[in-house]
Each structure stands twice: as C-alpha cells, then as structure tokens.
C-alpha cells in the first residue's frame, strides 16, 4: 500500500482542524494534531518522519530541522517567520511558506481602534463616570482634534501602509520611519518619510508595525521612550518583544508618556504552555490597554490563514509550486 503523506500541525489555538483535514485528506494525507506549543525537541516525536508541518506558535530551530527525514515544506499559519530557522530550511531543501495578505485590514483596524480609544481618552472617561464623576475635564483632558496631531508609523510594509491610509482619512498628519522604503513611495501615499529620531520627537500617536528580528527586538526602549512627547500614545500591533516592557512600565507609571495600546506583550503568552499573567506589571496599569494578540482576528481572516497554509502544503506534496514561498 502506498504510504500516506503525514502532515503534522505543530500547535494551534483553533477549535479544530476541520479546514486543514478537508483540504489535505483529499490527497490521502494524515493530519496529526501535535499541540506541542513548547516546540523544540519536544516536537521531534511527532515530526521526524513528517512530509509537511503546519506551524503556528511552536518554535522550530536548527537542531530540530536537521533531524527531519522527509519534510518538504513548513507552512506558517501567519506572516512572521521569526520562530522558524528559515536559513537552515533553505539549506536542507525545505520550502517555507507564510500567509502574507490574510489580515492586512484586521491589524490596521485594530491599530486605529486602539489609537482612537486612547486619543479620545475613552477608558479614562469610563473609569471616571463609574466613580460618579460627570465632567469632561475629569481624567480626559487634554484632547485635541485629529487634524492637529501627528500619527507616526514605524514600519511601512503592507499593514503600515494600510494604517497610514486609514489615519489620513481621519485627518491625521502621517509620517513614517522605514529605512527600507523609498521616499518616493511614501510620498505617493501622502506620508512624510522621516528618521527614527524625528518620529519619536514629533508623534502624538506612534504606531509600531515591524517584523521581529535581532534588529527590532527592544526597538522601543528606555532611550526611545524618553524622546517621545509627554502626551504621546504608543501603539504596538506587531510583536511583543519589539517594545521593552520594563521600560514602558516605567514611562507609563512615571507619566513620561500618556498611554499605550499593545496587542502583544514581551512575554508572548501564546507561545507559553503556562503563562503567569501576574509577572507583567503592565497589565495593572489603567493607561495601558492590552489585547491578547488578537489584532489579526476576524472569522474571515482565520479561515483564510488556515485554508491558505493547508493549500500550500497540498501543492508542494503534489509536486506543484506554492504561491507564497519565502
């Protein structure tokens, strides 16, 4: 009997694997649900003889990749590949794919929602009225018109550009920092290209939307936060470790900046088997809104991510080219 393809899902926070199974079982593949969030060597008992791996949060590094005997493709459910040793995959002839377009609107909308919620001081007003205080000055002031404010964006990729378009529609003046994007391209989007120092000094709202790498880890730290305006709002809808959480806690608790909205924290709880939420003091601050890495979520985006990743695996196992090989 011909050997079935073995496709291992390293880990998932989806309720089931019905989408993946509907696509991959049609080509005779067995879908194995490892649920090994810790990744690493613990994954080996599932993936050593796998033909393909679908990866969400579990880290897969060089030591594990070198022990894969049959693997033809590792398909990321998301966009970033910082949890995967792409170079080792390349050397071993393993194709790596991601899903580059599935949540461009969702993340941009989430960034704008966090920014507007804090710019209009909604959480502060809600807390105030709950305490019986009924006046527009209570906890809210000062608030300024959006057209009087600068919306800064660090990272001008697909999502950064989408954030810029939405911010401009709300009459913000938009500037961006991204050394990899040409000034002409930003100008076409109605955005002023500036350096890092300028965007830190001038932004009323500063939104971080860059991939996580050795260069961007703690991109926003104590020195950067000190350069920001006292009334500034920091938004991070990228990866948690891009912002130094200890430095941010100090800046927020000492009033060095006004507020922050984060969609992930440095702990990156989704990658931990047992997360101690008490260990991060940012969760106790009223001027820090934190969402559980949900910016990418809509029912439609999740379905698109799962379907696209599974279809990439199917294509490679059938000897075809995937759409989104890195």
Look up 268 and say whether it is catalytic: yes
**Could you give the CA distance from residue 324 to residue 278 in angstroms, rounded to a whole number?**
39
The active-site residue out of 121, 161, 293, 306 is 293
Q: What token pair was written down for 102?
A: 């599935």
**Could you give the CA distance from residue 144 to residue 326 in angstroms, rounded to a whole number?**
43
Q: Could you tell me which of 277, 241, 247, 232 has the C-alpha nearest to residue 262?
A: 241
Look up 135 and say whether it is catalytic: no
The active-site residue out of 12, 110, 121, 239 is 239
Count Cβ neighbours within 10 Å for each residue of 29-47 and write b for 16 or more, e otherwise.
bebbbbebbebeeebeebb
- Residue pair 5/28 in contact (Cβ under 8 Å)? The answer is yes
Look up 239 and say whether it is catalytic: yes
The active-site residue out of 25, 189, 268, 304 is 268
**Could you give the CA distance from residue 136 to residue 215 in angstroms, rounded to a whole number?**
43
> What positions carry a catalytic annotation?
239, 268, 293
């Amino acid at each position: 009997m011909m050997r079935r393809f073995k496709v291992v899902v390293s880990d998932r926070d989806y309720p089931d694997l019905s989408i993946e199974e509907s696509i991959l079982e049609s080509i005779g593949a067995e879908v194995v649900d490892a649920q090994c969030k810790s990744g690493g060597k613990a994954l080996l008992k599932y993936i050593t003889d796998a033909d393909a791996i679908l990866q969400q949060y579990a880290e897969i590094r060089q030591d594990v990749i070198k022990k894969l005997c049959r693997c033809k493709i590792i398909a990321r459910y998301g966009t970033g590949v910082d949890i995967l040793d792409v170079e080792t995959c390349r050397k071993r002839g393993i194709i790596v794919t991601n899903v580059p377009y599935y949540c461009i609107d969702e993340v941009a909308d989430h960034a704008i929602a966090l920014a507007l919620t804090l710019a209009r001081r909604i959480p502060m007003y809600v807390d105030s009225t709950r305490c019986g205080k009924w006046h527009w000055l209570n906890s809210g002031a000062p608030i300024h018109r959006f057209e009087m404010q600068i919306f800064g964006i660090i990272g001008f990729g697909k999502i950064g550009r989408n954030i810029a378009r939405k911010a401009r529609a709300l009459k913000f003046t938009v500037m961006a920092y991204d050394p990899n994007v040409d000034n002409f391209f930003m100008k076409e989007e109605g955005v002023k290209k500036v350096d890092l120092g300028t965007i830190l000094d001038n932004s009323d709202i500063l939104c971080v939307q860059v991939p996580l790498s050795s260069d961007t880890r703690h991109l926003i730290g104590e020195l950067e936060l000190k350069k920001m305006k006292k009334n500034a709002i920091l938004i991070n809808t990228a990866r948690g470790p891009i912002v130094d959480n200890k430095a941010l806690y100090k800046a927020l608790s000492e009033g060095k900046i006004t507020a922050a909205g984060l969609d992930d924290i440095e702990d990156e709880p989704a990658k931990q088997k047992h997360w101690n939420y008490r260990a991060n003091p940012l969760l106790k601050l009223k001027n820090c809104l934190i969402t559980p890495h949900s910016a990418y979520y809509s029912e439609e985006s999740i379905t698109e991510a799962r379907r696209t990743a599974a279809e990439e695996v199917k294509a490679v196992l059938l000897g075809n080219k995937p759409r989104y090989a890195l």
